[in-house]
Amino acid sequence: MQLVAQRAHLSALADAGRLRTLAPRRGVDLSSNDYLALSTTPRLVAAAQAALAQGVALGSGGSRLLRGNDAEHEALEAEAAAFFGAEAALSFGSGYAANTALLSSVPQPGDLIVYDALVHASMHDGMRLGRATCVAAAHGDAQAANDAIAAWRKAGGTGTPWIAVESLYSMDGDLTDVAAYLAVADRHDAMLVVDEAHATGVWGGGGRGVAEAWHGRENLVTLNTFGKALGCEGAVLCGPAIIRDFLVARARPFIFSTAPSPLSAAVARESLRVVADEPNRRAKLHALIDAARRYLAPLGARVESQIVPLVIGDDREAMRVATAVQAAGFDVRGIRPPTVPAGTARLRIALTLHVTETEIAALANVLKEVLP
């Protein structure tokens, strides 16, 4: 029998209540990252139709360094750099590819990366592929990052320190004190990388992310995605022009990947305009966050952002509650290790403009009945 180890591994995951499977979309959307409900908005649909009518290609036909470098890619990067207040931007097919490209190529041997313990898997994979020394710091603790850099310097470290955080954590829903981490970066002549994947479009005065007030600083790199609140797909890394140039020259995930769809780039350009033109979407979403504080926080949920975790603890119990909630018509997914730490299996409730305050209240009533 072939693939014996793989069969045994899947069986062990099933026995532990941790086997991942695909499930269709059903019920009220409380699990997607389409926070501003832009994925179906007429403006993005019209942008796609107009681009097609003007001859914008569906596929790029090659890597950016070959013939895949389309005018739409360059237009998106110019507009994204202006929107996010950066000297330059470089686009990728996904935030995962962008994080992997950045952390695997730009930090050099002799450098140090201090990363928040809860950063996304894409950052972990980038660090594994890179050549810098990597050290975890306690979640949300800027002082711990400071201490790690200080200890490294004391032990003889002479390279560039890098600090890697998310601005809004995708499974805990908590916001990062970017100012505190920037102070550490300034103190140690370090670079700060802020993954704004879940904050782009939703947070900051203009929907430009939690780090919006510090855009344009030479020691700041941000990742901003289009596939979540902006309703389409892809991502951009924004920061100093030298970072962009180095990624083009050295980042294997960029060099050896077929370029993203020019059509997607055209739609992403329109998504930036929607965020700028329609601040009422953010206001409506923040009103839903306030409603969640009233209805879900009393049940034990953490409500700091549009991502609302309700920690259950046990893996199987979390999935039991998720199944019961889904049966009641609410698409809420259970999250288990290794996505979250052992003993913290949870429901991840995502607030989007696809739901109403009435539906949040109804979800709370269901949870009251099914929670252990």
- Domain membership of residue 302 as a residue range: 22-40+279-370
Q: Per-residue pLDDT for 225 more than 70?
A: yes
CA–CA distance, 69 with 72 (Å, rounded to integer): 8
Are residue 111 and residue 257 in the same domain, yes or no? yes
Are residue 249 and residue 303 in the same domain, yes or no? no
Say if residues 271 and 232 touch (Cβ distance below 8 Å). yes
Q: What is the pLDDT of residues 100-154, one digit of tens each?
A: 999 999 999 999 999 999 999 999 999 999 999 999 999 999 999 999 999 999 9
Sign of the CA dihedral with 257 first, then 262, 264, and 269 last: positive
Which amino acid is present at 172?
A: D
Q: What is the pLDDT of residues 146-198, one digit of tens each?
A: 999 999 999 999 999 999 999 999 999 999 999 999 999 999 999 999 999 99
User: Which segment of 13-22, 131-140, 164-173, 295-304 scores lowest on mean pLDDT?
Assistant: 13-22
Annotated catalytic, 79?
no
In a domain? residue 6:
no
Residue where a domain stops, chosen among 206, 241, 276 = 276
Residue where a domain stops, chosen among 252, 276, 300 = 276
Annotated catalytic, 195?
yes
CA–CA distance, 117 with 103 (Å, rounded to integer): 15
Question: What's the whole-model pTM score?
Answer: 0.95
Mean pLDDT within 317-343: 96
| Residues β-bridged to residue 348 | 309, 333
DSSP per residue over 111-163, as a string? Answer: -EEEEETT--HHHHHHHHHS-SEEEEE-TT-HHHHHHHHHHHHHTT--S-EEE
CA–CA distance, 116 with 171 (Å, rounded to integer): 14
Annotated catalytic, 224?
no
DSSP per residue over 236-305, as a string? Answer: EEEE-HHHHHHHHHH-HHHHTSBPPPHHHHHHHHHHHHHHHH-HHHHHHHHHHHHHHHHHTGGGT---SS
CATH number assigned to the domain comprising residue 236: 3.40.640.10
| pLDDT of 200 | 98
| pLDDT of 1 | 61
Annotated catalytic, 33?
yes
Q: Catalytic one among 94, 111, 120, 257?
A: 120
Annotated catalytic, 368?
no
